[in-house]
Amino acid sequence: MEMAGARDDVNVLTFNAGSSSLKVGIYSVDGERARSLFARTLSMEPTAAGATAAINAVLASELPAEIALDAVGHRLVFGGPDDAPTLASPALFDRLARYERLDPLHAPAALAALRTTHERLAHLPNVLCFDTNFFRELPARARVLPIENSEPDFLRRYGFHGLSYEYVRATLGTRLGSRAILAHLGSGASLAALRDGKPIECTMGFSPLGGILMATRPGDLDPGVLLYLLEERQQSVADLRRLLEERSGLRALSGGERDLRHLLERGDDPRAVLAVDAFCTSVVKAVGALAALLGGLDTLVFTGGVGEHLAPIRSSIVRGLALFGMKLDIHANEIHADVISLLSSAVTVRVVTTDENATIARATSALVHANAERTR
């Protein structure tokens, strides 16, 4: 590639297709440094057609013509056991299509965005970056599922939100301390425990359905509930999928509202109060369990849309963790400061604005450089 011989930096166009939006960025990457040159967020129907239309709109009129692009990076939530950053190819598309039903909220749109971009920008390397790759070194006891299992390499616990966690880890470095818990709280939400910067446990497992309570997903749920619905209520697998993906979590508890910002505004509505309390309690329980595995806690980090912007949610969670010696700085919390704990707090509580696209850009640049070195 011309860029490999002419300069060290790589200009990476990034796409992150979510359940309701497409986040687009261009980053100039030099080693571990990713400098944002361009950013847009477009509303998008969470379907293959919606993603294709959004990508075509971006490529037709949104990108600045003066920036020369060297590569394209994409986020995919799930890639199975082979989840290292990898170049797009027809064979890879076929493999990923088999996993689509495991993440119907994100996968159809993300795959459509990838296919469209790969066709429209075929002259550039298109690199896929997977959310699960961050957790590739989880210990065996954190990966295994306690069921009779003929596919242990595939049917296991993975962990998600890894691109966000990688950004937080790279941003904070040694400031994480030896024992850290990262809480990515948004419509989808999870937590990860890191010892000396390496993940040892997480709340999500085989799919993004498990763990803590989420906007429309239930988090951990007694499997007996699903058996009852199948056997006694005669619900179909399709019915259960809609229930678990779209009609559970905050939406179910509140009577229809999934957005914590709106639920916080409904302080006189018992169902809204219940939903907020249940969400915060699920996070407190998860932090307590993960801290026990770590043997204590040095740092708690809030990130994601909820974690970064909703001070009352952070306050409620920190209050529930007082036994760890956490002490909240009320003013710092209200202004979303980088550190929201008091100096006397036994645990440092931080807020980090995540940037998954920056992580995608760095991983894409690294793969492009590695391939260029191999072909010299």
Residues forming beta bridges with residue 129, ordered by sequence position: 75
Report the number of secondary-structure helices (H) and strands (E) in the chain: 15, 11
- Classify residue 33 as left (phi > 0), alpha (psi -120 to 50) or beta: beta
Retrieve residue 64's tokens.
């600045």
Please state at what angle helix 90-97 crosses helix 107-120, rounded to 10 degrees.
170
370 in helix, strand or coil? helix
Q: Which residues pair with 23 in a beta bridge?
A: 16, 41
- Strands, DSSP E only, in the chain? 10-17, 21-30, 33-43, 71-76, 86-87, 126-130, 179-185, 189-195, 198-202, 299-303, 348-351
Give which of 156, 106, 151 is closest to 135, Cα–Cα: 156
The catalytic residue positions are 131
